[in-house]
């Protein structure tokens, strides 16, 4: 029997080319390490091809549709004639193709060796790809996530977000199972396109992980937009009736529509990669690591959506960078999930970072928490945009601001300063004395900080 050829060796071998995997690869080569990046589909992963980027392109088209409808209020005469979904899809595909080409070129320029094919972990330092073995002194698992289907038959009328992005028409009506981020974003876009939308959420409210003030504001805004939602009861069954769908809830209530979007979250993609065979611990499919993202096996790390916690592209991206820094011994700072910024790009947009009021009261004691809510009705730029909403700050008495939350048109753009405030543990007086440009929505953060400091300028 012939000797097996020597496996090609890298300092870092990454399994998965999504946000987490390619970030680990790029930062590793910046440190002078050799990197092999294994990807079975397309570089950029879910975020670029079926997640963040394409959905936000659809939401931008939705924003334009809403502006066309309301333009006469601003003295601009336009006519809204409808949505050409083929054209929207073409616009979306163009954005995705451009970003994919840019990412592929960047990895090539940085001398990352991209290995196409299905990878499987076959030892603590080897991954086999279509019969060829590659060795890594360090291995980073970044195999990502996929839409949960709850066992429902995905097809023409019962779809996930992946199929929703490929629709060639605007559905007349849609039921959205799940009132979280994905569900609310699609419900918002479809409503703007002219679809009659009903959201089914088993928990007591939409976007249940947000601050109660934000939830209240969103639900009021969605009602005003004509979005129907049923909360507090889980669905029991979804039936394809041949010309539509019928959803039955556990309490017997039924809803019918043209299509049903299953938006009940995303699950880790870890099956069939040989992780458990090498002693890696899985829990409900997630890879269990320590706080420094080490699996406890060899020099194997895990990053992104396969690690329990927030399933966000920028969390994966940060974790990829973190692991590269960890490998070279730079002892990077751990960013806890609570301090990772989040944006829901529905209309109105939601931004949040840090503790909600209930979580802060649980962590620091109700008597030690103070809050302020600044109404965007007092903000000049928000009035110009025609949006309501709030900025809410949560602080520890005599201490830092531990949570910043907001809702309103385009308010997601303010998450940058919000996450700096929370992550740098700024006190209200620190932010209150900073100058916020006028007229911007950004001023609302300054106003909220002044109010939390006890010296509001307006209101």
The DSSP secondary structure of 174-212, one letter per residue, reads EEEE--SHHHHHHHHHHHHHT-EEEEEESSSSSSTTS-H
Instruction: Please classify residue 437 by burial: count the beta carbons closer than 10 Å to its beta carbon, then call 0-12 exposed, 13-18 middle and 19+ buried.
Output: exposed
Neighbours of 447 (CB within 10 A): 23
Q: Which two tokens stand for residue 110?
A: 């940085």
Long-range contacts of 42-45, Cβ-Cβ distance < 8 Å, separation of 24 or more: 42/17, 42/100, 43/17, 43/100, 43/103, 43/104, 43/107, 43/114, 44/17, 44/18, 44/19, 44/99, 44/100, 44/103, 45/16, 45/17, 45/18, 45/19, 45/21, 45/144
The two tokens of residue 307 are 């690690």
Long-range contacts of 357-364 (CB under 8 A, 24+ apart): 357/211, 357/212, 357/213, 357/392, 357/394, 357/403, 358/211, 358/212, 359/403, 360/394, 360/396, 360/402, 360/403, 364/396, 364/402
Strand 173-177 to 196-201 pairing: parallel
E strand residue ranges, 78-172: 113-116, 119-123, 126-129, 132-141, 145-147, 158-159
For residue 198, give the nearest of 149, 155, 246, 266 by alpha carbon. 246
Tokens standing for residue 325: 């820094």
* Cis, bond preceding 209 (omega within 30 deg of 0): no
The Cβ of residue 294 has, within 10 Å, a number of other Cβ atoms equal to: 15
From the candidates 60, 405, 436, 438, give the one annotated as an active-site residue: 438
**Is 413 in a helix, a strand, or coil?**
helix
Active site residue 438: yes
Alpha-helix residue ranges (DSSP H) falling in 204-312 = 212-225
Residue closest to 189 by CA, chosen among 170, 203, 204, 202: 170
Q: How many CA atoms lie within 13 A of 103 on its CB side?
A: 22
Length of the chain: 459
Catalytically annotated residues: 438
């Amino acid at each position: 029997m012939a000797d097996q050829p020597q496996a090609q060796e890298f300092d870092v071998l990454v399994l998965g080319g999504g946000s987490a995997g390619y970030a680990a690869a790029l930062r590793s080569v910046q440190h002078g390490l050799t990197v092999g990046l294994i990807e079975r589909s397309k570089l950029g992963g879910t975020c670029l091809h079926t997640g963040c980027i394409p959905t936000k392109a659809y939401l931008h088209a939705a924003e334009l549709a809403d502006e066309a409808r309301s333009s006469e209020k601003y003295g601009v005469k336009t006519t809204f004639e409808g949505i050409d979904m083929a054209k929207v899809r073409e616009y979306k595909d163009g954005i995705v193709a451009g970003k994919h080409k840019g990412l592929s070129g960047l990895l090539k320029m940085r001398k990352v060796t991209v290995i196409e094919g299905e990878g499987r972990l076959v030892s603590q330092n080897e991954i086999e790809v279509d019969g060829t073995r590659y060795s890594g002194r360090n291995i980073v698992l970044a195999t990502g996530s996929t839409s949960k289907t709850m066992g429902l038959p995905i097809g023409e009328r019962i779809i996930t977000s992946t199929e929703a992005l490929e629709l060639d028409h605007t559905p007349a009506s849609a039921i959205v199972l799940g009132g979280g981020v994905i569900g609310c974003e699609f419900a918002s876009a479809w409503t703007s396109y002219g679809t009659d939308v009903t959201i089914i959420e088993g928990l007591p409210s939409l976007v249940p992980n947000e601050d109660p003030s934000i939830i209240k504001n969103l639900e009021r805004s969605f009602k005003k937009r004509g979005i129907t939602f049923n909360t507090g009861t889980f669905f029991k069954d979804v039936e394809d009736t041949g010309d539509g769908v019928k959803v039955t809830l556990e309490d017997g209530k039924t809803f019918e529509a043209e299509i049903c979007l299953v938006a009940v979250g995303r699950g880790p993609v870890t099956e069939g990669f040989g992780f458990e065979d090498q002693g890696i611990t899985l829990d409900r499919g997630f890879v269990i690591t320590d706080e420094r993202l080490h699996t406890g096996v060899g020099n194997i790390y895990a990053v992104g959506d396969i690690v329990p916690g927030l399933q966000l592209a920028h969390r994966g991206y940060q974790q990829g960078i973190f692991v590269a820094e960890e490998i070279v011994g730079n002892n990077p700072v751990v960013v806890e999930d609570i301090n990772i910024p989040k944006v829901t790009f529905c209309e109105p947009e939601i931004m949040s970072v840090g503790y909600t009021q209930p979580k802060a009261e649980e962590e620091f004691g109700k008597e030690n928490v103070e809050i302020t809510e600044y109404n965007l009705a007092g903000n000049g730029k928000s009035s110009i945009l025609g949006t309501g909403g709030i900025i809410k700050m949560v602080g520890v008495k005599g201490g830092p601001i531990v949570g910043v939350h907001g809702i309103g048109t385009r308010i997601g753009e303010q998450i940058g300063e919000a996450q700096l405030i929370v992550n740098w543990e700024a006190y209200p007086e620190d932010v209150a004395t900073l100058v916020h440009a006028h007229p911007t929505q950004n001023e609302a953060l300054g106003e909220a900080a002044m109010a939390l400091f006890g010296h509001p300028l307006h209101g």
